[in-house]
Structure 1
Amino acid sequence: MNILIVEDNKYQLDNLKKMVIEGLGDERGNIYCASDIATAKKIYAEDDIHFFMLDISLGYESGLELADEIRNTAKYSDAFIAIISAHKKFEDKAFTHSKCHVFVEKPYKKDAILELVNHALVNYLEKV
């Protein structure tokens, strides 16, 4: 399973990556990291991504706009997308407009991220 984490805070990005690795356990996976939308787009254009973890606030950019672009890309129309944000007010928009699967509120707990990775992994394995 290929996972793309998009988070502009280096500490948060590193922390999420460690949790994703732990959540994958024995499963093989490639974890890609981006701190901005341009880098994220380059990654998902070059590699097949199965699970997207997106922060909403990416400097002056929006993770929800990125989710919309991902969703409007034919090969990612049914991709598993999780939004991670301290901005709970965007939760409804994440589900209704951007059609994300999961909204995780910051500060997140490790158990929530491990459960999220497990859920994404099950979703991926069901499709393979």
Structure 2
Amino acid sequence: MLALTSEGWLRRWRRAGPAMFTCSRALLDWVVRTAVREQVPLEIRRATVVGLTGTAARVRGVRLATPGGDTDLEADLVVDASGRGTRVTGWLNGLGLTGVRERAVDSGLVNASRLYRIPSGAERFP
């Protein structure tokens, strides 16, 4: 395996150094979700969040789009993990919290997943 790291090219078999673990994004998400479920009593729902509930002083939960109409879900902690497509600034404005400054931090980390077909003749390759 060969990878370009902040220290240069990493050849896994040539030196002991930074460890590299590879997996698909789906596997990573599953492992994190499983670990959290084992540690914390929680309920996982598939839903579309359409806003926040509360006031400018305190977020109290989220508003979910449901087939029967929007419904509010109270929460002690709300985490926005939607990434670059976040709408949280507009939702906070809707609660009366204006002038929210955004700050971007580039961690330099990325992830990518790709599945490959095994080429003909390589089925028994380790």
TM-score (normalised: structure 1): 0.30
More helix by share: 1
Relative contact order: is structure 1 or structure 2 higher (C-alpha 8 Å, sep ≥ 6)? Answer: 1
Bigger Rg, structure 1 or 2? 2
